[in-house]
């Protein structure tokens, strides 16, 4: 993917938002085991370009695609095709979150 985009951190953030619809910088830091500042810079660049927007959820800043971005459909289709080319191990390890589908049983120990 390095030949498509100059910054691999931006590619990681875009793929993550494509698959999970939203993200926050410390979440990306934890998943990719990279410095928080690199993800903060990458998300700021994407926001400045109008590709993503940020909103607050409590004390956390959440980033998601900007639905008003004029080329969003084309960008998403391009990213989907590039994402399909990734190996399954990479997809499962980094981009496909294991989200709990059912609530925890009451009084279940952690």
Residue 110 lies in a domain: no
Residue 52's DSSP bridge partners are 65
What average pLDDT does this structure show over 69-75? 94
Residue 24 lies in a domain: yes
Q: What is the reported pLDDT for 80?
A: 95
Residue 32 near residue 94, CB atoms below 8 Å: yes
What average pLDDT does this structure show over 97-106? 63
Q: Can you tell me the distance from the alpha carbon of 61 to that of 69, in angstroms, rounded to the nearest whole number? A: 20
Longest Cα–Cα distance in the chain: 51
Q: Can you tell me the distance from the alpha carbon of 12 to that of 30, in angstroms, rounded to the nearest whole number? A: 13
CATH number at residue 69: 1.10.10.10
- pLDDT level of residue 83 (50, 70, 90 thresholds): very high
Closest CA to 8 of 67, 66, 90, 65: 90
The pTM assigned to this predicted structure is 0.82
Residue 98 lies in a domain: no
Q: What is the reported pLDDT for 2?
A: 42
Residue 100 lies in a domain: no
By residue range, what is the domain housing residue 85?
8-91
Residue 101 lies in a domain: no
Number of structural domains, the chain? 1
* Residue 96 burial (CB count, 10 A): 13
């Amino acid at each position: 993917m390095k030949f498509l985009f100059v910054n691999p951190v931006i590619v990681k953030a875009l793929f993550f938002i494509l698959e999970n619809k939203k993200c926050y910088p410390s979440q990306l830091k934890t998943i990719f085991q990279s410095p928080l500042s690199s993800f903060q810079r990458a998300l700021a660049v994407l926001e400045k370009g109008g590709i993503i927007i940020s909103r607050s959820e409590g004390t956390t800043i959440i980033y998601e695609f900007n639905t008003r971005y004029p080329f969003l459909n084309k960008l998403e289709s391009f990213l989907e095709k590039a994402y399909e080319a990734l190996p399954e191990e990479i997809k499962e390890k980094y981009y496909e979150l294991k989200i709990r589908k059912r609530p925890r049983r009451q009084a279940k120990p952690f």
